Amino acid sequence: MPTKNKGEVSEFYAFVYILGNRVIELVDGHLQLLGQNVTFLRVFRNEGIVYQFPQDGIVENDTLDIVRDDGRSSKIARRVIRSHADQLFRLIAQGDNISDDSPEIVRLKTLLQTEKLTAKSIDKSDLQGEVISSNQTHSHTLGFSVKSHVGSNPSLINSNHENSLLYYRVVPTDHERLTDKDRGLLEQIANDFNLPNDGKRTQIRSYLEILRKNGFRLKFEKTAKEALGYTLRIIDTKFPDILAEVLLEHYTYEKKSKKGDRRTLGELVDMCCTRRNLSPTFQMLGQNSEEIMNSARYKMQNFLLAFSTGASVSAKWDGHDQANGGIIIVLKDGRVVCLELFTRNSIGEYLLSNTVFDTPSLGRHGGGQLEKIGGDWFFGLQLQVRFDQR
């Protein structure tokens, strides 16, 4: 029997919640209420159906029209949808894997005349809607991405074999060229130190520490595949180097975050910007520490936004967003809120504060090992980013 996890069903719950409530509150990047809201006029889910709220201007009008492409239509009382939304959230809160054939889900799909719980995996936009916010005078049709704080943390960027692999050249600490002695030592290290296929961050960190103690450092060389490199350069011509340094920082820092073992991407960027010996990559970002940090955080926000709305590791991105309305968030208490719509400030801050690098299966995706290519040695690190609502 097919099942869905809490995150997948939360996407459907957000859709049902919006149909029942019509109005959701706007929050900033730290999920604090802004005292504003967004009102949905219509909702679309790519099934030839439009869910349309009354156009009489009365938000409290408690009906919903379901209009099909073939002209058929029907009305539903929104209080009924709200009641089903409450039952659906209780179902999500109680179980880890939820059956597609659960009676509550079957009833809702029948009521709303829909066949699917979630958008296609290739879609960055989980639902589309015509909306108007309290600080806007005109409506806009936008695509939204749904993120859930209920259940396991969802991924933002999934590793995909060589498509997500970053290569670092292994060089001596004090210069750029390997000697024959260096090559022999690296051969020995490669033979003696093998990570398990499910290697963790701490194990990769141990490997890198062995290299450091033997007088070696990693210098970013390139992405394994050009598609990822191209996409990163669209964001900023120097962003591949910036990302490579921040990813390496993830595997080399020693102190734990106050919130847990893994530091957020925002914390890692700040660490790279405040090193005593600032790297040339970060030195070029500004004339003082404030400018450097502002520049680095801005570029990292753009990276996270790109992969939230359209980019992927396996294809060259054209710079066009698929989800252009922002992020809808399902909170742990069942409330559904929306990050500020018409600027990217709140969304960018939310992403910086709630995403972490993750270590995928090395056996499945590669990386985490020394590799000899020609007469040079390289070390690969996988790019994987996950939400971490702590």
Q: What confidence tens digit (pLDDT) does each residue in 330-353 have?
A: 998 999 999 876 667 788 888 999
**In which residue are the tokens 């709305």 written?**
309
**In which residue are the tokens 């790109």 written?**
306
Sign of CA dihedral 357, 363, 369, 375: negative
**In which residue are the tokens 């734990």 written?**
256
- The 3 state secondary structure assigned to the chain is CCEEEHHHHHHHHHHHHHHHHCEEEEECCCCCEEEEEEEEEEEECCCCEEEECCCCCCCCCCEEEEEECCCCEEEEEHHHHHHHHHHHHHHHHHCCEEECCCHHHHHHHHHHCCCCCCCCCCCCCCEEEEEEECCCCCCEEEEEEEEECCCCCCEEECCCHHHHEEEEEEEECCCCCCCHHHHHHHHHHHHHCCCCCCCCHHHHHHHHHHHHHCCEEEEEEEECCHHHHHHHHHHCCCHHHHHHHHHHHHHHCCCCECCECCCCHHHHHHHHHCCCCCCHHHHCCCCCHHHHHHHHHHHHHHHHHHHHHCCECCECCCCCCCCCCEEEEECCCCCEEEECCCCCHHHHHHHHHHEEECCCCHHHHCCCCEEEECCEEEEEEECCEEECCC
Q: What is the pLDDT of residues 186-215, one digit of tens each?
A: 999 988 876 655 556 778 888 899 999 999
Enumerate residues 6+ apart whose C-beta is below 8 A from 370: 170, 186, 189, 190, 377, 378, 379
Whole-number Å distance between alpha carbons of 192 and 208: 14
Q: Tens-digit pLDDT profile for the chain (390 aa)? A: 577 888 788 989 999 999 999 999 998 888 889 888 999 999 987 778 899 998 765 656 688 999 988 888 899 999 999 999 999 999 988 877 788 788 888 999 999 998 887 765 445 577 889 998 877 778 888 888 888 888 777 788 988 889 999 999 999 998 889 999 999 999 999 888 766 555 567 788 888 999 999 999 999 999 999 999 999 999 999 999 999 999 999 988 765 555 556 799 999 999 999 988 899 999 999 999 999 999 999 999 999 988 887 789 999 998 877 666 678 999 989 999 998 766 677 888 889 999 999 888 776 777 888 999 888 999 999 999 998 865
Of the candidates 383, 379, 374, the one whose C-alpha atom is nearest the C-alpha of residue 356 is 383
Q: Which is it for strands 326-330 and 140-148: parallel, antiparallel or unpaired?
A: parallel
